[in-house]
Structure 1
């Protein structure tokens, strides 16, 4: 049995209460930065595209301090543009397409633990409820 490294998951399973973009930044290869390379940005191993980190606020109300912000990696040649803000707020609701999760062992701690890395093929503004149900918005 072959289990893929990147396991496909639905957006609703990972973010059942929704998510908001906090920012987008280049994923830097710290060894390349130390070496003084002109382009120290991480490249996706499968596509060769640049990797971008999308900082996301998980809207789940029951998260403990420090658990609400996660990073989702996106591979794209140019920096992805987040969806527009909600009118009158600083919040940018987002949904990710092609979301995958990769488990890894975090050995940087005194007691190793399992960690998870999220990747997506793309991001977009969420569909409104009426669009999901097939009804036109009034």
Structure 2
């Protein structure tokens, strides 16, 4: 099969209604290399970059409560900084660039996806200007 490894996707394919940060950006622990006295951060097996993680809430209203939050892994040499909060919103909207998904079977025997990204940023304004109508 020609399709192997992480599958490239767009932000709109994964989060068509958008998403919001609901946790801190944290380093992902390398459980094999870490000891009780020493924390070792995991590195991506394809790029060798440090892996960070942030929990986001999917804005899709049709999702069940258990499907609303997902961990997004960010590959970056330094800790990514979330976008600034927006006034009047309880959560910070966010978008990701250079996304991939990797399907796997979770401990419950169900299909799940690992989401990895290269960049985290504030959402772009997708509003389109109104068309001028001729009188």
* TM-score, structure 2 normalization: 0.85
Query: What residue is the counterpart of 1:119 in the other structure?
Result: 116
Unmatched runs of 5 consecutive residues or more in structure 2: 130-135
What's the offset of the Cα at 1:37?
6.2
Which residue of the partner structure matches residue 133 of structure 2?
A: none
Partner of 1:20: 20
Show CA shifts across 1:34-58 (max 9, x none). x346342111112222100111110
| C-alpha RMSD over aligned residues | 1.6
Structure 1 equivalent of residue 53 of structure 2: 53
In structure 2, how many angstroms separate the alpha carbons of the residues matched to 1:125 and 1:48?
Answer: 26
Instruction: In structure 1, list runs of 5 or more residues that go unmatched.
Output: none
Query: Higher helix fraction: Structure 1 or Structure 2?
Result: 1
TM-score, with structure 1 as normaliser = 0.84
Structure 1 distance, partners of 2:83, 2:75, is 17
The aligned runs of 1:118-137 (5 Å cut-off) are 118-130=115-127, 133=128
- Total equivalences in the alignment: 128
